[in-house]
Amino acid sequence: MNPPAPSPAVGIRRTLRSALFIVVAMFGFGFALVPLYDVLCQVTGLNGKTSGVVAQAEPMRVDEARTVTVEFVASVNLDAPWEFHPDVTKLQVHPGRFYTTHFYARNRSARAVLGQAIPSVSPGPAATHFHKIECFCFTQQGFAAGEGREMPVTFRIDPQLPADVHTVTLSYTFFRLPEQG
Amino acid sequence: MSTTADQIAPAHDEHHAPRGLLRWLTTTNHKEIGTLYLVFSLTMFFVGGTMALIIRAELFQPGLQIVEPYFFNQMTTMHALVMIFGAVMPAFVGLANWLIPMMIGAPDMALPRMNNWSFWIMPFAFTLLLSTLFMDGGGPAGGWTLYPPLSLQTGAAFPFVILAIHMMGVSSVMGAINVIATILNLRAPGMTLMRMPLFVWTWLITAYLLIAVMPVLAGAVTMLLTDKYFGTSFFNAAGGGDPVMFQHIFWFFGHPEVYIMILPAFGIVSQIIPTFARKPLFGYASMVYATASIAFLSFIVWGHHMFTVGMPLAGELFFMYATMLIAVPTGVKVFNWMATMWRGSMTFETPMLFAVAFVVLFTIGGFSGLMLAIAPADFQYQDTYFVVAHFHYVLVPGAVFSIMAATYYWLPKWTGHMYDEKLGRLHFWCSAIGVNVLFFPQHFLGLAGMPRRIPDYALQFAGFNMISSIGAFLFGLSQLIFLWVVIKCIRGGEPAPAKPWEGAHGLEWTLPSPAPLHTFQTPPQIDPSEAHG
Ligand code: HEM
Ligand SMILES: [Cu+2]
């Protein structure tokens, strides 16, 4: 019927090459999902990820007419030997103005430990409107055995915050970092 | 084994192949490799089944009677890994090996040596995986989905589990590449793509799914490994990572994976139903397109496994509608099978019994899938026995029944003997009743709130759990009938004609039974009226 195809060996080699290409590309794609995921979360503020960088301190119009409640939550990762809590659990803030509040952490163990606080803002869409110019979460925090201290956060809420958001929760989880630091 | 002169004589080695174990170890023949895969798969089916019976024995009554909770968790995890990667997937690869060359008129698979490798990796992978049960700290117990941080708490077994998963992945990728290369390059002249039997079509699409997603799984488990041992923080929030990201990557693999386990089943059923309805398959082309659209859609629905993890509303809606969209091509298939049977002269030999049961019971699983796809409703169902009921309906009377149907259907071709029809029917009825007694009550348990993966439960769940466990033992023990039928058929029985099924079409039935080791050394003539069985 049809004319005989050229020797299958050539075709097989070509198929093999393109299939292997797909395999390698998809293995790479799996890893590419990692930065992609971060970018997506950053751009959209999904997942409550605030941008890790220090916000610019340029002046903004302060919206005195609007009041937003900011709640502070502190939690400790399972095996971390901390005492960790916010000094105040709630602040009434005006968008556009800077506020500073403190969290208190104490190392309850008899050894020096290194910790890292990871912030999360909810609701998710508020995350991109939550700017921090100073935060203990920007750096790793070392604690001597039994040491405790106050750690500041300075932030402001962007006046662009969607009008239907009345309460923003800033939550920190304090993780213990591996020993060598 | 000593090497004799004629064994190393060039070009004749296939006629003087080594005997005994070495023959199986070195074979590059698609039929022998197919047999190896099928035997391996059956073995794993019984290993995984034993684990399932341990689970159901513990759940027979509330309270802890038989096993430690930690061992129970190892059983749920291992049962899933063994059944998915050891029983269902290798069975389909075995069937592909046996059938695809015979169906498209090819002399063998395109890459016979790689074929040998892809099989022989499997026994090593599973020896490794199963050996973790005896290691310090036991085997993996955090669920087959390996979510961190829980899975990172696995003991000494962890790197071995990851290695085993890598080996299974390499094996299935090699198998898939072989299928693609065979179908694209070795079809007999005149066997155009749109004349291929549906089993070949569904496997071609499955093979593409495999090479697209197995590497993603490999990446995900590699990240777990480096997180645990090399200080990376892909999924560790303390280092800037995110455990939820694992779920995204895993389900990007995971959802196409469930279709990897069902598309070849669709192919099998599309071969068997026309044979016993004595009518050509209704809507051949729409079957091909439906399969392709299911495969495509399967890449964009992974979020339905993560509705409760925390997603923006737009995400919930997107994944909800995309998931429901899959029901459309799936519905096309079910409709076509029914239309094929409609006014057919049907007879109900064992393969047909399993195929008809597949259509009915798989559809029940599809419906519970649709319920789960409703994002707001899933908040109630997620992580309950309802999910367990759903995926077991699509996997056991779905994928597994199709494999059994295929075994009965092609066993005469493989062995040259007819199987014992009475025992086959007995096996079918025990299995069909057992599977429903086993899994149907789990819907009610889930709706009432019983969580999955727990060794003990509240008293109000006792009744349905007891019924479910009784069904489990009925189903499990009736598989011994299957084993017996298969062994009996291999050892003897009424000689099978070349075409034991009156209504069958397709190239494989033009070959004598048992099919000789080497077939279609010269390509056959394709009769277009006989095309796509
Ligand atoms: C109409 C088609 C289907 C729909 C709409 C569907 C939908 C879903 C949804 C929404 C879930 C997540 C439930 C939850 O965790 O809350 C799920 C789970 C699952 N489905 Fe399906 N499904 C379908 C077909 C299939 C098929 C054909 C298979 C396999 C052959 C399958 C296997 C699974 C498995 C294994 C899980 C559970 C995974 C786990 O959490 O361990 N599904 N399905
Ligand atoms: Cu899914």
**Can you tell me which atom of ligand 1 is nearest the CA of B384?**
16
Q: Indicate yes or no: CB of A27 within 8 angstroms of CB of B219.
A: yes
pLDDT tens for residues A90-121? 999 999 888 999 999 888 888 888 888 888 88
Chain B nearest CA to A34, separation (Å): 8
Residue B407: phi, psi to the nearest 5?
A: -60, -50
Cα torsion angle, B444, B446, B451, B452, sign: positive
Tell me if B9 is assigned to some domain: no
- Amino acid at site B413: K
pLDDT tens for residues B423-454? 999 999 999 999 999 999 999 999 999 999 99
Tell me the CA–centroid distance for residue B431 and ligand 2, in Å: 26
Chain A nearest CA to B22, separation (Å): 28
Tell me if B170 is assigned to some domain: yes
Q: What is the CA radius of gyration of chain A?
A: 25
Select from B57, B53, B79 the least CA-distant residue to B139.
Answer: B79
Q: Does A118 touch chain B (CB under 8 A)?
A: yes
* Residues comprising chain B, all counted: 533
Chain A: residue nearest B110 by CA? Answer: A12
pLDDT tens for residues B262-304? 999 999 999 999 999 999 999 999 999 999 999 999 999 999 9
pLDDT score of B424: 97
Which residues of chain B are modeled with pLDDT < 70? 1-17, 528-533
Q: Report chain A's mean pLDDT, rounded to a whole number.
A: 83
Read off the CATH number of the domain in which B333 is found: 1.20.210.10
Lowest-pLDDT range, A72-81, A84-93, B10-19? B10-19
Question: If DSSP codes are grouped into helix, strand and coil, which group holds residue B106?
Answer: coil
Tell me if B467 is assigned to some domain: yes
The structure tokens listed for A37 are: 């995921």
Q: Does B243 touch chain A (CB under 8 A)?
A: no
Check: CB of residue B533 under 8 Å from CB of residue B271.
yes
Q: What is the ipTM of this complex?
A: 0.87
Going by pLDDT thresholds of 50, 70 and 90, the confidence category of residue A76 is confident
pLDDT score of A181: 39
Q: A-chain residues within 8 Å CB-CB of B248? A: 33, 37
Chain A nearest CA to B42, separation (Å): 29
H or E element at residue A113 = strand A113-122
**B159, HSE (Cβ side, Cα atoms, 13 Å):** 6
Tell me if B11 is assigned to some domain: no
Tell me if B372 is assigned to some domain: yes
Check: CB of residue B356 under 8 Å from CB of residue B432.
no
Chain A: residue nearest B227 by CA? Answer: A178
Measured between CB atoms, which of A11, A26, A44 is closest to B215? Answer: A26
**Using omega within 30 degrees of 0 as the cis cutoff, is the peptide bond preceding B149 cis?**
yes
Tell me if B15 is assigned to some domain: no
Tell me if B10 is assigned to some domain: no
pLDDT score of A122: 80
Check: CB of residue A65 under 8 Å from CB of residue A100.
no
**Can you tell me which atom of ligand 1 is nearest the CA of B330?**
1
User: What is the spatial distance between Cα A54 and Cα A135, in angstroms, rounded to a whole number?
Assistant: 8
Residues of B catalogued as catalytic: 79, 108, 144, 171-172, 255, 257, 259, 270, 304-305, 330, 333, 452
- Amino acid at site B290: A
Q: A-chain residues within 8 Å CB-CB of B177? A: 15-16, 19-20, 23
pLDDT score of B2: 38
Inter-chain contacts counted by CB atoms under 8 A, chains A and B: 101
Q: Which of A7, A16, A24, A138 to mutate to test the interface with B (most CBs of B within 10 A)?
A: A16
Considering its fold, how many domains does chain B have in total? 1
Tell me the CA–centroid distance for residue B78 and ligand 1, in Å: 19
B209: containing domain: 27-531
**Can you tell me which atom of ligand 1 is nearest the CA of B258?**
29
Q: Report chain B's mean pLDDT, rounded to a whole number.
A: 93
Going by pLDDT thresholds of 50, 70 and 90, the confidence category of residue A161 is confident
The structure tokens listed for A89 are: 């659990």
Prediction pTM value? 0.88
Question: Does the pLDDT value for residue A6 go beyond 60?
Answer: no
- Amino acid at site B450: M
Tell me if B17 is assigned to some domain: no
pLDDT score of A145: 86
User: What is the spatial distance between Cα B515 and Cα B508, in angstroms, rounded to a whole number?
Assistant: 8
pLDDT score of A146: 86
Q: Indicate yes or no: CB of B312 within 8 angstroms of CB of A124.
A: yes
pLDDT score of B149: 86
Select from B214, B197, B195, B294 the least CA-distant residue to B253.
Answer: B214
Select from B133, B172, B171 the least CA-distant residue to B261.
Answer: B172
Three state DSSP letters for B472-486: HHHHHHHHHHHHHHH
Tell me the CA–centroid distance for residue B123 and ligand 1, in Å: 28
